[in-house]
């Protein structure tokens, strides 16, 4: 017998939903599908064509291309501005909606390491703001080119690697980031979701946990290349999905962390709404995401930074991220008594 407070009714979307909202839902659906399922489908397709059809030559030719093109992801990728500017991404922006907020100018003659917080479940804010032009990144920061770092694992998937490179995604390893930051003339903005996959396990609504206390690799990267550090906080990133409760010390969290250490990807048990109903599914909620870009922290180039220098810049970065959060939280519905929790 169900408890009186448990509502098991399915709330279906009304039949008279405006067409523009249906298009927004369709665009976000394809994005969620691409994020969750397209890579394994591409792998299966590659081997299916190779082993079970008369179109095996497609896989053979692609394998040759793959070999020739192997290093491209770590050498700046292959961003296609035309695809990033398609109107389809404006529908994704308006679904939530997502907004990019500028607080300071960024000199296009310099290179930057942009730290994105929090990771959230599917980094919707990072993708929309820095892989597309839907929120006007190039207009807000003229002369800058953004590249979002993604787990190297995904660049080993045939066909899929080419798809994600079109959006400016590059592997989240030192070689790939260093290549971009070494380029003469400046204008490169490397965007790193600093908390990475482990932070996704803390992506609960109303949670402001940031995995940063022991993260110094991106600080060292910035110092070695003389790239200014820029903190970013994306308000609402953790609000667009619910996640099964997994506090530290529980068996679920233990299993998730073990799998993450083995596979390199985290497996948060998340849910939100569906396509035609609002009660359950893997579609994100229509809740606003406001991505606030902080002011740059000047960094002098030093190829061999000392531990003390790393600590100084790390603390300076944490202080600046805290200032950014505290200064803007009131604008985006964050309670006054809520503060960042560094892990």
**Please, what are the averages of pLDDT over each run of 10 residues along the chain (343 residues)?**
54 89 97 96 97 96 97 96 97 98 97 98 97 98 97 95 97 96 94 95 96 96 98 98 96 93 89 93 97 97 96 98 98 96 95
Q: What is the pLDDT of residues 66-108, one digit of tens each?
A: 999 999 999 999 999 999 999 999 999 999 999 999 999 999 9
For 256, half-sphere exposure in the C-beta direction (CA atoms, 13 angstrom radius) is 22
pLDDT at residue 7, rounded to an integer: 53
pLDDT at residue 3, rounded to an integer: 43
Domain boundaries, the chain: 19-333
Alpha-carbon distance of 265 to 274, in angstroms, equals 24
A 10 A CB-CB count for 64 gives 10
Question: Is domain 19-333 in CATH 1.10.287, yes or no?
Answer: no
pTM for this entry: 0.94
Element (H, E) at 229: strand 228-235
pLDDT at residue 149, rounded to an integer: 98
pLDDT at residue 4, rounded to an integer: 45
* Closest-CA residue to 94 (of 331, 286, 292, 293): 286
* CB 162 within 8 Å of CB 229: no
pLDDT at residue 2, rounded to an integer: 44
Query: Percent helix, strand and coil across the chain, each rounded to 5?
Result: 45, 15, 45
DSSP 118-132: --TTT-HHHHHHHSS
For 131, half-sphere exposure in the C-beta direction (CA atoms, 13 angstrom radius) is 25
Alpha-carbon distance of 292 to 235, in angstroms, equals 8
* CB 119 within 8 Å of CB 201: no
pLDDT at residue 1, rounded to an integer: 41
């Amino acid at each position: 017998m169900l408890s009186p407070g448990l509502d098991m009714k399915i709330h279906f979307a009304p039949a008279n939903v405006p067409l523009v909202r249906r298009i927004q839902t369709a665009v976000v659906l394809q994005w969620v599908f691409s994020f969750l399922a397209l890579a394994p489908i591409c792998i299966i397709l590659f081997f299916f064509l190779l082993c079970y059809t008369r179109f095996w030559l497609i896989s053979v030719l692609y394998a040759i291309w793959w070999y020739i093109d192997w290093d491209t992801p770590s050498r700046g990728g292959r961003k296609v501005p035309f695809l990033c500017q398609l109107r389809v991404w404006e529908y994704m922006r308006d679904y939530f909606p997502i907004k990019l907020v500028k607080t300071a100018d960024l000199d296009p003659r310099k290179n930057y390491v942009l730290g994105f917080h929090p990771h959230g479940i599917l980094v919707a804010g990072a993708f929309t703001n820095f892989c597309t032009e839907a929120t006007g990144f190039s207009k807000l920061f003229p002369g800058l080119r953004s590249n979002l770092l993604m787990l190297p694992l995904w660049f080993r998937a045939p066909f899929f690697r080419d798809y994600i490179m079109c959006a400016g995604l590059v592997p989240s390893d030192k070689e790939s980031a260093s290549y971009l930051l070494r380029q003469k003339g400046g204008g490169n903005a490397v965007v790193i979701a600093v908390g990475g996959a482990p932070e996704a396990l803390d992506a609960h609504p109303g949670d402001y946990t940031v995995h940063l206390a022991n993260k110094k690799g991106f600080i060292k990267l910035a110092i070695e290349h003389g790239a200014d550090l820029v903190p970013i906080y994306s308000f609402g990133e953790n609000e667009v999905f619910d996640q099964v409760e997994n506090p530290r010390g529980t068996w679920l969290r233990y299993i998730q962390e073990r799998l993450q250490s083995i596979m390199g990807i985290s497996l948060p048990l998340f849910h939100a709404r569906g396509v035609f109903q609002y009660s359950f599914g893997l579609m994100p909620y229509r809740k606003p995401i406001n991505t606030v870009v902080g002011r740059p922290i000047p960094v002098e180039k030093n190829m061999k930074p000392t531990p003390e220098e790393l600590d100084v810049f790390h603390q300076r970065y944490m202080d600046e991220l805290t200032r950014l959060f505290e200064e803007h939280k009131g604008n985006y519905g964050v309670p006054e008594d809520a503060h960042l929790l560094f892990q």
